Amino acid sequence: MSDKNPYETLGIDENSPFDEIQATRNRLVQEHAGDRKQLEAIEAAYEAILMDRLRLRQEGKIKVPDRIRFPERLVEPPPDFAPTPPKQTPDWLQRLIDTPSRADILWPAAIFVGTGLLSLSAPPLALALGVGVSLYFLNRKEHKFGRAFLLTLIGLIVGVVLGLQIGQFLLPQLQQISLNLNSFAALVTFFVLWLISSFLR
């Protein structure tokens, strides 16, 4: 084996890629595991090829693949990496909207249903209780009473106006089910207050 050139020793072509050279060297080392003389010849040939390739690279005669020259470019993001989507809503709106838990939706809903039933007999008292409930749940989230008061006031005004407008339109149907306009407006207001106290902060 000593009279052969290094490529012949490994049984490869001079134009073989580095991966093939390395794989052939590893295979030959495994095949000749017990023969020390041949192992030395294989290692000497492999080192000679490496030195020859290094010289050719320095002379610019071998083009080094980009995956070897710039391995950092091939680094892929981890599989669980997900780029953050661009914001589609303004920051002030994102700070205003809440993503409540199930309990944060159901507790106010149950209380507003109870006050809604009370509004059938005493709408003003029920509205006062609804305002108090909305203030409590909004203030509990951010501990900003002024903000909670403002949101509750807006909800109260929107709910009453919306309830009266829809009630005027549905007045014949409301009279058929013995529901007066004030009670209907209170029910709509409770729905608006529930939405505000559950989904805003």
Continuous H helices in 1-144 = 6-10, 18-31, 36-58, 66-69, 91-96, 102-119, 123-142
pLDDT of residue 54: 83
CB 197 within 8 A of CB 150: no
Average pLDDT of every residue of the chain: 81
**How many percent of the chain have pLDDT more than 70?**
82
Helix (H) or strand (E) holding 197: helix 181-199
Which tops the pLDDT comparison, 47 or 85? 47
Q: Read out DSSP for 71-112?
A: GGGGPPPPTT--PPPPP-S-HHHHHHB----HHHHHHHHHHH
Residues with Cβ within 8 Å of 57's Cβ and at least 6 positions away in sequence, in order, are 64
For residue range 23-47, what is the model confidence (pLDDT) as tens digits? Answer: 999 999 999 988 899 999 999 999 9
Answer yes or no: is pLDDT of 1 > 60: no
Q: How far apart are CA 130 and CA 183, in angstroms?
A: 13
